[in-house]
Amino acid sequence: VVDNSVDEAMAGYCSVIEVLINEDNSVTVIDDGRGIPVDIHPKTGRPAVEVVLTTLHAGGKFGGAGYKVSGGLHGVGVSVVNALSEWLEVEVRREGKVFFQRYERGFPVNDLKVIGKSGKTGTTIKFKPDDEIFEETVFSRDILIRRLKELAYLNKGIKIILKDLKTNSEFIYRYEGGIKDFIIYLNRDKVIFPTEPIYLSGEKDQVLVEISMQYTDAYFENLMSYTNNIHTVDGGTHEAGFRSALTRVINDYAKKNNLLKANDGNLAGEDIREGLTAIINIKVPEPQFEGQTKTKLGNSEVRGIVDSIVADGLSTFLEENPATAKKIIEKSISASRAREAARKARELTRRKNALESTTLPGKLADCSDRDPSGTELYIVEGDSAGGSAKQGRDRRFQAILPLRGKILNVEKARLDKILNNEEIRALITALGTGIAE
């Protein structure tokens, strides 16, 4: 029901939406839009408002070409709310009159009638969930707050009011900054840069795109995407377009301004996005959602549109804000180095474990005693010296390990280089003490 009012707002006909949680657990949704049409539908011979409330997929098609974009996730409209309600009452303010009709369990109790006059326009729908269908019929205020606040951020300038008549409390949401304000809210407890979130927007082929982003000191990315006010938690083509453009533009800028050395290679997308909070908000006339949960956008054309708008807008932003651009690239390089160090650390751990559990080197002429306190290890250069030493040793407590050539100076070498050296590995294994500081 609220989505219908937001559709009116997105079409430019509604500025205030009010949601009331009533004492009897019913809910009232009021908007100041055009009002659901009340004229007779040519195919059914019934008022349009009745068709909307009793027929699947009827909404959004009245009054001209319908809505340019719509936020209905499952495409079934307010008729399902009506069908699942114990009762529903609709009041339409339109053409100077107030129209009213009541329904019970989806069926009209009376014909649409005029109950008064009004100089305003809009729709009021009041309904109570059917307790014969739902086990839980009490609305969660917290869930409503979260969703209504989200809708206010995604549709800047719309005023959404929630009134809980049970507790006599009121919450008002209106954000002139839209998703920029959303970013500020999400990053409210973090160290941020730049101070003002980056904002990019554009339109192509009736697809509206707006993106806001800001970096924090976190080590993970927080990317949230929406299509026609629906949270696409599983991503989709709009996220793919954003990520590809972001990676390409940052790398191009870094190389162009000598912030990356020629032999460094490109920064990985995951390093560029470390610490990034971003919101992608798009409006698409014909969204195609994938999967059973309808939380992944599948429109192939959207990827290229988002990529193009992000590339153009972000390139301009970086050129105009070189200090911020440098900071983004420095953070990305730091993330890349940290990721590489973590990879090497994992490899070293695996090698250490392998060394500690491996068999003795083949060149080692071991001694028979097992008590290390009374044994000796002689390290000699080359196999020939090893042969002579073996002949002169006491096999009980003297072991011989021949090594090739000049050994690596481990005091000056990195740990990964040390563990790559075959002679050092043989020595570590022969000693059997493992590796420690």
Residue 434 DSSP SS3: coil
User: What pLDDT is recorded for position 98?
Assistant: 97
The residue assigned the tokens 């809980």 is 164
| Residues 368, 144: Cα–Cα separation, whole Å | 77
| Residues 28, 127: Cα–Cα separation, whole Å | 7
Q: What is the pLDDT of residues 108-142, one digit of tens each?
A: 999 999 999 999 999 999 999 999 999 988 999 99
Return all residues near 200 (Cβ < 8 A) that are at least 6 apart.
Answer: 209, 210, 211, 212, 213, 309, 310, 313, 314, 317
Centre a 10 Å sphere on the Cβ of residue 252 and count the other Cβ atoms it contains.
15
Q: Which residue type sits at 244? A: S
What is the per-residue DSSP string for 134-157?
A: -S--SPPHHHHHHHHHHHHHHSTT
What is the per-residue DSSP string for 187-218?
A: TTTS-EEEEEEEEEEEEETTEEEEEEEEEES-
Contact assessment for residue 113 and residue 23, using Cβ atoms and an 8 Å cutoff = no
pLDDT level of residue 272 (50, 70, 90 thresholds): very high
User: What pLDDT is recorded for position 343?
Assistant: 81
Contact assessment for residue 163 and residue 18, using Cβ atoms and an 8 Å cutoff = yes
Q: What is the pLDDT of residues 311-340, one digit of tens each?
A: 999 999 999 999 999 999 999 999 988 888
Contact assessment for residue 371 and residue 399, using Cβ atoms and an 8 Å cutoff = no
Contact assessment for residue 260 and residue 253, using Cβ atoms and an 8 Å cutoff = no
**Number of helices (H) and strands (E), helices first, in the chain?**
12, 18
pLDDT level of residue 65 (50, 70, 90 thresholds): very low
Contact assessment for residue 209 and residue 282, using Cβ atoms and an 8 Å cutoff = yes
Taking alpha carbons only, the member of 110, 59, 55 closest to residue 83 is: 55
Pick 424 or 177 by higher pLDDT.
Answer: 177
- 338-355 mean pLDDT: 73
The residue assigned the tokens 């009340």 is 38
The pair of three-digit structure tokens given for residue 13, joined into one six-digit string: 């006909």
User: What pLDDT is recorded for position 59?
Assistant: 59
Determine which of 210-214, 245-249, 400-404, 426-430 has the lowest per-residue pLDDT on average: 426-430
Taking alpha carbons only, the member of 72, 61, 73, 126 closest to residue 100 is: 126
The pair of three-digit structure tokens given for residue 201, joined into one six-digit string: 């927007």
pLDDT level of residue 247 (50, 70, 90 thresholds): very high
Q: How many CA atoms lie within 13 A of 113 on its CB side?
A: 7
**Average per-residue pLDDT in the chain?**
88
- 202-229 mean pLDDT: 95
Q: What is the pLDDT of residues 144-168, one digit of tens each?
A: 999 999 999 999 999 999 999 999 9
| Residues 247, 329: Cα–Cα separation, whole Å | 11
Q: What is the pLDDT of residues 398-421, one digit of tens each?
A: 998 888 878 888 877 777 777 778
Domains in the chain, ordered, with CATH?
2-173 (3.30.565.10), 179-338 (3.30.230.10), 358-431 (3.40.50.670)
Residue 60 has pLDDT above 60, yes or no: no
The pair of three-digit structure tokens given for residue 188, joined into one six-digit string: 């409210």
